[in-house]
Amino acid sequence: MTVRLDDFLPYQLSTSSNAVSDLIAGEYKSRFGLKIPEWRVMAVLGSRGASTQRHLVEATLMDKVTVNRAVKNLVDRALLERSPNTADGRSHHLLLSSAGRDLYDQIMPAAQAMEKKVMAVLSESEQAELSAMLVKVKKSADDLAAE
């Protein structure tokens, strides 16, 4: 049985995600000097607040080495602050610094504007349906992975 790759859902999800990420990444790479992993770390911390690297790995679905490298670069650029985790001496709490928060506040409108352009091909109800469907697909994958 031959499966047409363009009709295979995991391939469609991956290529769509990469196309949108790359489009937005070009914006924040050229304007703000951030790579995709660095922006993902900043986006999680900007929207959810302080976190540990372990939680960032879980939230971004990026591997430990990628998160570690992104965190190091962001700390070196003074965009993140690191403080000891009293509950676990092996980890640190990470938080956007004042400069990191300022940068986050500049990037989010640009990222949202690009999202709006990309999603303009769908009606508002289609956008809501797509979002709800993606939540269901991710939950299904998470549930299957937990088995």
90: domain CATH number? 1.10.10.10
Residue 68 near residue 29, CB atoms below 8 Å: no
Report residue 140's pLDDT band, with 50, 70 and 90 as the boundaries.
very high
The pLDDT tens digits of the residues spanning 28-76 come to: 788 889 998 999 999 999 999 999 999 999 999 999 999 999 999 999 9
Q: pTM of whole model > 0.85?
A: no
- Is residue 85 a part of any domain in this protein? yes
**106 assigned to some structural domain:** yes
- Is 129 inside any structural domain? no
- What is the mean predicted confidence (pLDDT) over 12-19? 92
d(CA 145, CA 27) in angstroms, rounded, equals 34
Mean pLDDT of the chain: 92
Would you put residue 26 in left (φ > 0), alpha (ψ -120 to 50) or beta? Answer: alpha
Cβ pair 67, 36 in contact under 8 A: no
**Is 103 within the bounds of a domain?**
yes
Length of the chain, in residues: 147
Q: Is the pLDDT of residue 90 over 80?
A: no
What is the residue range of 65's domain? 8-115
Confirm whether 142 is domain-assigned. no
- 97 part of a folded domain: yes
Bridge partner list, 81: 95
Count of other CB atoms within 10 angstroms of residue 58: 13
Structural domain count of the chain: 1
User: What is the four-CA torsion angle of 65, 69, 71, 73, rounded to 10 degrees?
Assistant: 180
| Predicted pLDDT of residue 68 | 95
Within-domain flag for 109: yes
**Is residue 110 domain-resident?**
yes
